Amino acid sequence: MTAPTLKKRITELGAELTQRYKEEKDLVIICTLKGSILFVADLMREIDLPLEVDFISVASYHGGLTSGQLQVVHGMTTQITHRPVLIVEDIVDTGRTLKKLKEMISEGNPRSIEVCALLDKPSRRLVEIEADYVGFTIEDLFVVGYGLDYQQRYRNLPYIGVLSDPQ
């Protein structure tokens, strides 16, 4: 996925989300660190509404290729009670991260919780969960770039590519 392809799709997602949330007040965007930082930075500039952004740090891949235990490394401070929450994720793979995250966030009693994921790998799903807005549906390939890492590398690539020969 080239940088212009990403930009075009993110512009579309931003317009869709602007329509979705325009009647609501107090939108909170929750970005999952670290993978979603580039995506949220671009997406929030395409949402033409007042909003608040916060970050939550959860890690399940621990830098590698396979998903393990979900760890909350850094929580968020924003009050989300009775507010519409949009979780922004870079990728939904097995779905474990998102499922846990949604459970945790719903404990804060928000008005609604929706998920916008840049990438969706449905063929890898191990738990039942779907994002409400998806940028691209992809095959079962390990991808890097535009925030996504392999052992903490490649996040700074401006495009998304397939990791060809993981070491």
For ligand HPA, how many residues bind (rule: CB under 6 A)? 8
Q: Which helix (H) or strand (E) holds 54?
A: strand 51-59
For Mg ion, how many residues bind (rule: CB under 5 A)? 2
Q: Is 91 in the site for ligand HPA (CB under 6 A)?
A: yes
- Residue number, 42 or 149, with CB nearest to ligand HPA: 149
How far apart CA 87 and CA 131 sit, in angstroms, is 9
How far apart CA 87 and CA 164 sit, in angstroms, is 30
- Residue number, 55 or 61, with CB nearest to Mg ion: 61
Phi (first) and psi of residue 152, to 5 degrees = 70, 5
Q: Is 92 in the site for ligand PRP (CB under 6 A)?
A: yes
SS3 111: coil
Q: Is 35 in the site for ligand PRP (CB under 6 A)?
A: yes
SS3 116: strand
Q: Is 55 in the site for Mg ion (CB under 5 A)?
A: no
For the four alpha carbons of 163, 158, 96 and 127, in that order, the dihedral sign comes to negative
How far apart CA 37 and CA 147 sit, in angstroms, is 6
**From 42, 90, 93, 149, the catalytic residue:** 93
Residue of 13, 17, 89, 138 that binds ligand PRP (CB under 6 A):
89
- Asked about 93 being catalytic, the answer comes back as yes
Tell me which stretch binds ligand PRP (CB under 6 A): 10-18, 43-51, 76-84, 95-103. Answer: 95-103
Residue of 61, 76, 88, 120 that binds Mg ion (CB under 5 A):
61
How far apart CA 87 and CA 116 sit, in angstroms, is 6
The catalytic site residues sit at: 93
| Sites of contact with ligand HPA (CB under 6 A) | 61, 91, 93, 142-144, 148-149
